[in-house]
């Protein structure tokens, strides 16, 4: 593997100065788990790195429709390598339920780094989340199902998307009818991650007589096998995707499929949106992880390759590109784990939610949207820095760019994030809680750049608060990005207080590039400590 990837065989925790700094800053319990994170960093840089290359290029999941006796089974066949890695990483989902917190869970997911494997773990974890928080006595074997999911003995999934609605959940047509102890579900799920792998899915359907729109949806647990021992749903086909090939995504047909109601039927949309928050945080964390995988490749490449008589990293334009990678990496990661911190403080809240929960949702939209943009830009830049080799599939950076391109789409594309973000401002007033925390950080730092970030943040949120209807929607995505950018500046300044002056420099650089839309100042050329590689920490 060393002939195709510079990052293979290295420790992806020890070599990543930003994840270490971010965890020290945002996670008070990090000391207890530091050595385990180092162990997992070595595993991620060796076993996982080799496995995901193999799965993507040579061993995609394959759908098997029938067994040897001709019975319909609709089961995927996984590479033994993928089965082993999934088995050895299932424990990542345990942390929140054993008192170790969501930061530990997401730190491990970040180190794993692969969106495909990460998706399998995340949708399984979301199934656990719904069972743990909302499933009642109507699911008699809930405890055993949960343990099987956490132990890697079963896989979960979240099947919400239907072809006629996409992100518009209110347009979903899957129907549910009560039938004694179960409900019978009928309809199609068009983007069903984990199709053919899933043992238990959580899925939306509209009970008979329920209102139209999203508030009429209930959430159900859908087993693969019904009470009679028969296949409970059919997988029509698997999708041929550009990347994330480790997770089989397909189309699922429900035909009088037995399912169990989770919680209250009239709160199903709230449970669904909570689960989306869990996966949007995963999207943000893994987006930054994908960008970092490409970044690690670049940091090695630029010290080995020579052009025009110099090592690549000695060219001013290369140093400028390394600066951009470092700024995006540190800022996006800070925003992602700030959001994780806020969710960790509020995740046990239930409908009707508290202001701290709406605050967690508010910052999750910031993180999901902006980190996806960072990941796409970072991986594209990495490909270019490899030159023509970066476009070859035998090199790692080409795959990381393909993987990054799903992150702006998964769990709601940018327009959906903007609309949901707008709702947290206009309806929930979550921005007021946010500003009460963020403004003192920026005012306390007191520099012109901090003041610039504060002005951008306040102006964008004031506009959204006072506009309405189509006009508010018109500005929502632009203002979401502006608030996200100003927030990253504030977080980097805050990190500088306990993680060193490098983060103050990164904050200033972020203002120049993303708030003022100017070029990075030339003084960075002589300060390689900005780049964030293991040799420049």
**What's the pLDDT band for 2 if we cut at 50, 70, 90?**
low
Residues counted in the chain:
537
Start-end of CATH 2.40.110.20 domains in the chain: 156-267
Q: Are strands 175-179 and 200-207 parallel, antiparallel or unpaired?
A: parallel
pTM over 0.85, yes/no: yes
If pLDDT is split at 50, 70 and 90, which confidence band does 222 have? very high
Query: Considering the chain, what percentage of its residues have pLDDT values greater than 70?
Result: 99
Residue-wise burial string across 481-500, b where 16 or more C-beta atoms lie within 10 A, e elsewhere: bbbbbbbbbbbbbbbbeebe
Give Cα 148 to chain centroid, integer Å. 23
Q: What does the alpha-carbon distance between residue 2 and residue 46 come to, in Å, rounded to a whole number? A: 10
Does the pLDDT value for residue 3 go beyond 80? Answer: no
pLDDT band for position 536 (50/70/90)?
low
The average pLDDT across 442-459 equals 97
pLDDT value, residue 128: 98
Distance in angstroms (rounded) separating the CA atoms of residues 492 and 514: 14
Asked if pLDDT for residue 533 goes beyond 90, the answer is no
For 212, which DSSP code?
S
Query: Is residue 10 scored above 70 in pLDDT?
Result: yes
The whole-number pLDDT of residue 263 equals 97
- The answer to whether 180 and 106 have CB atoms below 8 angstroms apart is no
Predicted confidence (pLDDT) per residue in 265-301, tens digit: 999 999 999 999 999 999 999 999 999 999 999 999 9
Question: Which has the closest alpha carbon to 253: 278, 268, 231, 275?
Answer: 231
Beta-bridge partners for 63: 76
Give the rounded percent of residues in the chain with a pLDDT score beyond 90. 96
Evaluated on CA atoms 5, 11, 12, 17, the torsion sign reads negative
pLDDT classification of 413: cutoffs 50, 70, 90:
very high
CATH 3.30.930.10 assigned to domain 156-267? The reply is no
Q: Does residue 131 surpass a pLDDT of 70?
A: yes
pLDDT-based confidence at residue 469 (cuts at 50, 70, 90)? very high
pLDDT the model gives residue 140: 84
Contacts for 277 with CB less than 8 Å, ≥ 6 apart:
343, 360, 361, 364
What are the C-alpha distances in Å from 366 to residues 278, 424, 459? 14, 11, 16
- The answer for 309, left when phi > 0, alpha when psi is -120 to 50, beta otherwise, is left
Q: DSSP string of 468-504?
A: -HHHHHHHHHHHHHHHHHHHHHHHHHHHHHHH-THHH
Q: How confident is the model at residue 338 (pLDDT cuts 50, 70, 90)?
A: very high
pLDDT (tens digit per residue) in 40-50: 999 999 999 99
Q: What gap in Å lies between CA 124 and CA 102, rounded to an integer?
A: 15
What is the C-alpha separation between 45 and 61, in angstroms, rounded? 23
Helix (H) or strand (E) segment spanning residue 157 = strand 156-159
- Positive or negative, the Cα torsion across 427, 428, 429, 431? negative
Looking at every residue in the chain, the average pLDDT score rounds to 96
Residue found by looking up tokens 């996982």 in the block: 48
Can you give the pLDDT at residue 192?
A: 97
**Nearest in space to 316 (alpha carbons), one of 48, 487, 524, 107:** 524
Query: What's the mean pLDDT in 318-324?
Result: 97
């Amino acid at each position: 593997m060393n002939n195709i990837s510079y990052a293979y065989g290295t420790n992806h925790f020890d070599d990543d100065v930003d994840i270490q700094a971010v965890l020290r800053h945002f996670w008070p319990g990090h000391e207890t788990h530091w050595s385990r994170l180092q162990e997992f960093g070595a595993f991620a840089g060796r076993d996982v790195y080799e496995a995901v290359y193999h799965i993507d290029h040579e061993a995609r999941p394959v759908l098997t429709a029938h067994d040897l006796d001709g019975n319909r089974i609709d089961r995927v066949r996984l590479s033994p390598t993928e089965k082993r890695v999934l088995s050895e990483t299932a424990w990542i989902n345990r942390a929140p339920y054993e008192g170790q917190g969501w930061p530990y869970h997401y730190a491990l997911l970040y180190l794993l780094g692969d969106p495909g494997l990460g998706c399998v773990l995340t949708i399984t974890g979301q199934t656990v989340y719904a069972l743990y928080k909302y499933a009642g006595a109507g699911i008699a074997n809930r405890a055993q199902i949960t343990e099987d999911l956490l132990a890697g003995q079963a896989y979960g999934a979240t099947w919400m998307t239907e072809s006629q609605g996409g992100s518009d959940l209110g347009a979903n047509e899957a129907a549910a009818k009560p039938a004694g102890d179960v409900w019978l579900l009928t309809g199609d799920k068009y983007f069903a991650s984990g199709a053919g792998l899933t043992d238990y899915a959580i899925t939306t359907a509209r009970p008979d007589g329920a209102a139209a729109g999203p508030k009429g949806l209930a959430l159900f647990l859908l087993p693969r096998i019904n009470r009679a021992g028969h296949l409970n749903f059919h997988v029509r086909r698997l999708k041929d995707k550009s990347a994330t090939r480790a997770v089989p995504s397909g189309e699922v047909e429900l035909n009088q499929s037995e399912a169990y109601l989770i919680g209250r039927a009239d709160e199903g949309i709230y449970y669904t949106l909570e689960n989306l928050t869990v996966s949007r945080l995963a999207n943000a964390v893994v987006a930054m992880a994908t960008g970092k995988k490409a970044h690690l490749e670049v940091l090695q490449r630029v010290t080995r390759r020579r052009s025009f008589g110099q090592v690549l990293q000695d060219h001013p334009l290369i140093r400028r590109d390394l600066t951009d990678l470092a700024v995006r990496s540190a800022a996006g990661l800070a925003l992602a784990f700030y959001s994780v911190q806020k969710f960790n403080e509020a995740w046990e809240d239930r409908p009707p939610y508290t202001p701290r929960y709406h605050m967690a949702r508010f910052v999750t939209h910031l993180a999901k949207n902006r980190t996806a943009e960072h990941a796409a830009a970072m991986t594209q830049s990495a490909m270019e820095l490899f030159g023509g080799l970066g476009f070859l599939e035998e090199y790692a950076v080409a795959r990381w760019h393909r993987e990054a391109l799903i992150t702006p789409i998964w769990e709601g594309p940018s327009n959906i994030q903007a609309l949901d973000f707008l709702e947290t401002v206009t309806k929930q007033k979550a921005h007021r809680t946010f500003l009460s925390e963020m403004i003192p950080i920026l005012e306390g730092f007191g520099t012109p750049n901090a003041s610039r970030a504060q002005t951008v943040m306040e102006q964008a949120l004031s506009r959204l608060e006072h506009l309405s209807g189509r006009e508010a929607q018109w500005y929502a995505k632009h203002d979401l990005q502006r608030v996200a950018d100003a927030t990253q500046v504030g977080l980097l300044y805050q990190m500088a207080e306990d993680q060193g002056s490098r983060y103050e420099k990164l904050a200033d650089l972020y203002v120049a590039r993303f708030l003022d839309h100017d070029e990075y100042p030339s003084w960075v050329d002589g300060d390689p400590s900005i780049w964030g590689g293991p040799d420049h920490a």
